[in-house]
């Protein structure tokens, strides 16, 4: 479970990234976070793994109060939280398999990190993850020889290999063509349904958000203005999120 309790985030320059956010996300939910550029979508999801530090309120993730964790505890927490980025964040001159094996590096002793030594079990987990996303045949291909969609699947496999219970996705399909984007979204849905992973996705494509997510959180100027089932999102809701017109019947936080 993830609980935002009156969470606020003010940057050093005084800009408010989040304002009085109260949201609870249960394990196994598929949540799409939508809103204008700069509304606070990325800020919201990056608070979950403390890539962004909240300045007000409480943020409880899997029973831990995130702002109070020390550096070692944050590293341990992040092992159960996968992160997928728009830019893939891969080592392009390395093979696909080596990129997936990177997910194990934080837990390795120093000597194994230095020499890049991985166990047979770790290699098998990496290959299984590649098989799940349908690119096992690319295991020994260099990443810079892959298409954008294939690279995003490598990033997904890297996340799967660490066996997270939560996946945070920051605009994961923004740079992909429509067909490839839907294929990657299919992968997220599979992980959510088959592995009971919580998926929290910041996404610009409203149509994809409504098609794949079960729940939508709409953020405007750092505030949650809609939080409800994707099936209930209509033009009035979208107007509230993108134009700031908030009819009483929509509600919101």
Structure tokens at 153: 């699947």
- Residue 125: exposed, middle, or buried by beta-carbon count in 10 A (0-12, 13-18, 19+)? buried
Q: H or E stretch including 243?
A: helix 235-243
Contact (CB, 8 A) for 58 and 6: yes
Instruction: Tell me, yes or no, whether 175 and 245 share the same domain.
Output: yes
User: Residue 8 maps to which CATH number?
Assistant: 3.40.50.300
Do both 111 and 69 map to the same domain? Answer: no
Question: Do 50 and 22 sit in the same domain of this protein?
Answer: yes
**Confidence (pLDDT) at 109:** 58
pLDDT for the residue numbered 233: 92
Q: Are residues 175 and 230 in the same domain?
A: yes
Structural domain for 3, as ranges: 1-80+166-253
Q: How many domains does the chain have?
A: 2
Query: In sequence order, what are the beta bridge partners of 218?
Result: 34, 226
Please, what are the averages of pLDDT over each run of 10 residues along the chain (253 residues)?
96 93 96 94 96 96 94 90 88 92 73 71 92 94 93 92 93 90 92 94 94 96 94 90 63 40
74 plus 173 within the same structural domain: yes
Q: What per-residue confidence (pLDDT) applies to 114?
A: 59
C-alpha to C-alpha distance for 98 and 81, rounded to whole angstroms: 20
| Structure token pair of residue 149 | 């969609």
Distances (CA, A) of 212 to 149, 175, 193, 219: 18, 18, 11, 18
Total Cβ atoms within 10 A of residue 46:
18
Residues 156 and 211 in one domain: no
Alpha helices, H only, 107-229:
110-115, 120-132, 148-161, 178-195, 206-212
My answer on whether 91 and 212 are in the same domain is no
- For residue 252, the model assigns a pLDDT of 40
């Amino acid at each position: 479970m993830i609980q935002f309790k009156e969470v606020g985030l003010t940057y050093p320059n005084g800009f408010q990234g989040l304002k009085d956010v109260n949201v609870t996300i249960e394990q196994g939910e598929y949540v799409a976070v939508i809103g204008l550029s700069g509304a606070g979508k990325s800020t919201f999801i990056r608070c979950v793994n403390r890539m962004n530090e909240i300045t007000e309120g409480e943020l409880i993730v899997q029973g831990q109060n995130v702002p109070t964790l020390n550096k070692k505890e944050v590293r341990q927490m992040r092992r159960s939280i996968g992160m997928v980025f728009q830019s893939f964040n891969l080592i392009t001159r390395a093979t696909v398999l080596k990129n997936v094996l990177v997910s194990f590096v934080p837990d390795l002793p120093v000597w194994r990190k230095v020499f890049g030594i991985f166990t047979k079990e770790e290699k098998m987990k990496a290959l299984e993850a590649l098989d799940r996303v349908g690119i096992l045949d690319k295991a020994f291909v260099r990443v810079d020889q892959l298409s954008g969609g294939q690279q995003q699947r490598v990033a997904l496999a890297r996340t799967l290999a660490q066996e997270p219970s939560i996946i945070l996705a920051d605009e994961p399909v923004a740079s992909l063509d429509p067909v490839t984007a839907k294929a990657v979204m299919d992968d997220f849905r599979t992980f959510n349904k088959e592995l009971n992973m919580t998926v929290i996705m910041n996404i610009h494509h409203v149509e994809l958000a409504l098609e794949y997510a079960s729940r939508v959180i709409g953020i405007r100027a750092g505030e949650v203005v809609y939080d409800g089932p994707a099936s209930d999102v209509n033009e009035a809701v979208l107007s509230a999120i993108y134009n700031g017109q908030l009819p009483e019947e929509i509600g919101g936080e």
